[in-house]
């Protein structure tokens, strides 16, 4: 009998020297299967037990009755049972224990915020947590087990190659996460390949943000091919990368072959007139895309006007927003939009300078330059550095002056998210004397000027809000 020791009576037979008790102890083999197997455990008698048994055997022989060899009945109360069963450990449904064990194995400190949210929230937001690849790996391991988190934000964590690889592998197993943000992680080509595999294998993700990861036109192939194959992705943000015209053409092919995606953001990706035209021609075959954000790119007036003429001819499109923010097209473009709305009255086309309050307005080059300079101001403030420290990176010879090429290269190397168009307008805005160089004093004066102007605008806006 499992869990029992061999029964004995008051007149038990002597125990042989090499005899053992076999006790069966339960243990869990697979937590997920909840099955139990029993393993025999041998318990050998001690030396003193054997000596005592021999003495008892001699005495028994001396008073052995004639019918001793006959089998004696065993009463129920004489049976001894040793229950060594172990309670089954509950399955780690939240992934908390898995996360803590993974952190210990990887040599990192677990985050109390992650532990708390794994068991209590559908959204795991660890944006700008400085996770690195090891902490990201630990989270990915936990999310293989967890089934309650539906939204994961890993933006701005420098997750590294192993981090994005573990995320990709996790998403082949996880069937609950439908929204993911991997923006600003410097993923580059390796990350593009991993994300492409993720889009190929995962069948539930609907919203993905991979903006600001230094992808190039060569990386576009790994991503656009999977967009065509994925049958679930609805919203895709891949802005602030460097696809150029070749990447734009690849995205045009992807849009033409996709019948699921409804919202695509490819703004500020260095797409020129060729790439833009390829994207717009895709609407000849696409009848599901509703929102296209393609602003902050090099789109000339001729290409924009041709795009609107094309849309007039297409009756089956679902497009309701064509966002060309920060693309300067001139007042005459408004007439083209009005003509288009006679054919598609629900389609909204936006262009021109985007102010900080979400309204669209046409503006001169100065407005774009101001906005670009404010972007630089926010950049240095976020990193707790001064404008002089940033300028020193551009000024290699310490002359307090840089030429246009040095300024452009400095902006690029610092990782300030400005398009080439914005940098060109910024240079014209800062170079007060027009000598072909940007002096540190010019930069400081313009910075103070726009800061004061924005403060005055904010005060005026608050006053107007109080009046309302």
Q: Which of 267, 283, 343, 266 is nearest to 318 (CA)?
A: 283
Q: What is d(CA 322, CA 156) in angstroms, rounded to the nearest whole number?
A: 28
Q: Which of 82-96, 301-315, 376-390, 431-445 has the lowest mean pLDDT?
A: 82-96
pLDDT average, residue stretch 208-218 = 94
Q: How confident is the model at residue 444 (pLDDT cuts 50, 70, 90)?
A: confident
Element of type H or E holding 119: helix 112-120
Q: How far apart are CA 203 and CA 178, in angstroms?
A: 9
Question: Rounded CA gap, 105 and 120, in Å?
Answer: 24
Summarize the chain as % helix, strand, coil (round to 5). Answer: 45, 15, 40
> Does residue 356 share a domain with residue 375?
no
- d(CA 404, CA 50) in angstroms, rounded, equals 97
- Give CA–CA dist 340/205, Å, rounded: 34
Domain containing residue 406: CATH number = 1.10.238.10
pLDDT recorded at residue 258: 94
What is the average pLDDT across 117-144?
A: 94
Q: Which of 91, 113, 144 is the last residue of a domain?
A: 91
pLDDT of residue 64: 53
Mean pLDDT of 130-150: 95
Domain that includes residue 32, residue range? 1-91
Is residue 440 within 8 A of residue 388, CB to CB? The reply is yes
Q: Same structural domain for residues 412 and 327?
A: no
- 355 and 370 housed in the same domain: no
Q: What long-range pairs does 422-425 form, CB within 8 A, spacing at least 24?
A: 422/296, 422/326, 422/368, 422/371, 422/372, 422/375, 423/372, 425/365, 425/368, 425/369, 425/372
Q: What is the pLDDT of residues 220-246, one digit of tens each?
A: 999 999 998 899 999 999 999 999 999
| 203 and 74 inside one domain | no
- C-alpha distances (whole Å) from 373 to each of 211, 215, 266, 407, 417 are 21, 25, 23, 13, 11
CATH code, domain carrying 126: 3.80.10.10
pLDDT of residue 326: 86
Check whether residue 83 and residue 117 sit in a common domain: no
Looking at the structure, do residues 71 and 201 belong to the same domain, yes or no? no
User: What is residue 457's predicted lDDT score, i.e. its pLDDT?
Assistant: 66
The total number of residues written for the chain in this structure: 468
Q: Please say which residue of 91, 106, 121 terminates a domain.
A: 91
Q: Does residue 101 share a domain with residue 66?
A: no
Helix (H) or strand (E) holding 170: helix 160-173
* Number of domains composing the chain: 3
| 208 lies in the same domain as 310 | yes
Which among 257, 244, 302 is positioned nearest to 283, based on CA atoms? Answer: 257
Are both 130 and 168 inside the same structural domain?
yes
Based on the fold, state whether residues 134 and 261 are members of the same structural domain: yes
Last residue of some domain: 63, 91, 119? Answer: 91
In angstroms, the CA 375 to CA 145 distance is: 41
């Amino acid at each position: 009998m499992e869990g029992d020791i061999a029964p004995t009576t008051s007149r038990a037979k002597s125990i042989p020297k090499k005899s053992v008790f076999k006790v069966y102890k339960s243990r869990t083999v697979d937590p997920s299967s909840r099955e139990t197997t029993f393993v025999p455990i041998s318990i050998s008698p001690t030396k003193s037990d054997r000596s005592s048994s021999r003495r008892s055997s001699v005495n028994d022989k001396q008073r052995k009755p004639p019918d001793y060899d006959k089998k004696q009945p065993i009463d129920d109360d004489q049976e001894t049972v040793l229950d060594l069963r172990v309670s089954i450990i509950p399955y780690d449904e939240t992934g908390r224990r898995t996360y803590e064990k993974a952190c210990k194995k990887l040599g990192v400190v677990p985050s109390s915020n992650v532990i708390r949210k794994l068991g209590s929230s559908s959204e795991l937001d660890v944006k700008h947590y400085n996770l690195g690849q090891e902490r990201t790996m630990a989270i990915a391991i936990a999310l293989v087990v967890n089934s309650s988190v539906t939204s994961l934000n890993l933006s701005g964590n420098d997750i590294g190659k192993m981090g994005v690889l573990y995320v990709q592998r996790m998403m082949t197993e996880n069937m609950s996460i439908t929204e993911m943000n991997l923006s600003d992680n410097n993923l580059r080509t390796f990350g593009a390949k991993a994300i492409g595999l993720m889009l190929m294998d995962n069948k539930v993700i609907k919203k993905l943000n991979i903006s600001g990861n230094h992808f190039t036109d060569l990386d576009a192939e790994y991503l656009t091919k999977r967009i065509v194959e994925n049958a679930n992705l609805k919203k895709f943000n891949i802005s602030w990368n460097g696809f150029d015209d070749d990447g734009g053409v690849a995205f045009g092919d992807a849009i033409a072959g996709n019948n699921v995606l409804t919202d695509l953001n490819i703004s500020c990706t260095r797409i020129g007139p060729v790439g833009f035209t390829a994207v717009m021609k895709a609407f000849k075959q696409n009848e599901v895309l509703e929102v296209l954000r393609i602003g902050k790119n090099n789109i000339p007036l001729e290409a924009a006007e041709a795009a609107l003429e094309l849309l007039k001819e297409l009756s089956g499109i679902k497009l309701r927003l064509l966002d060309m923010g920060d693309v300067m097209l001139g007042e005459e473009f408004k007439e083209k939009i009005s003509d288009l709305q006679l054919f598609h009255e629900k389609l909204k086309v936006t262009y021109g300078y985007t102010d900080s309050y979400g309204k669209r307005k046409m503006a001169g080059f100065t407005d774009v330059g101001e906005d670009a300079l404010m972007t630089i101001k926010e950049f240095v403030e976020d990193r707790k550095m001064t404008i002089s420290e940033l300028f020193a990176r551009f000024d290699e010879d310490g002359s307090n002056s840089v030429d246009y090429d040095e300024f452009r290269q400095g902006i690029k190397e610092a990782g300030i998210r400005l398009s080439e168009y914005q940098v060109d307008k910024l240079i014209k805005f800062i170079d007060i004397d027009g000598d072909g160089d940007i002096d540190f004093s010019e930069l400081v004066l313009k910075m103070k000027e726009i800061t004061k102007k924005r403060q005055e605008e904010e005060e005026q806006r608050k006053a107007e809000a109080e009046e309302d």
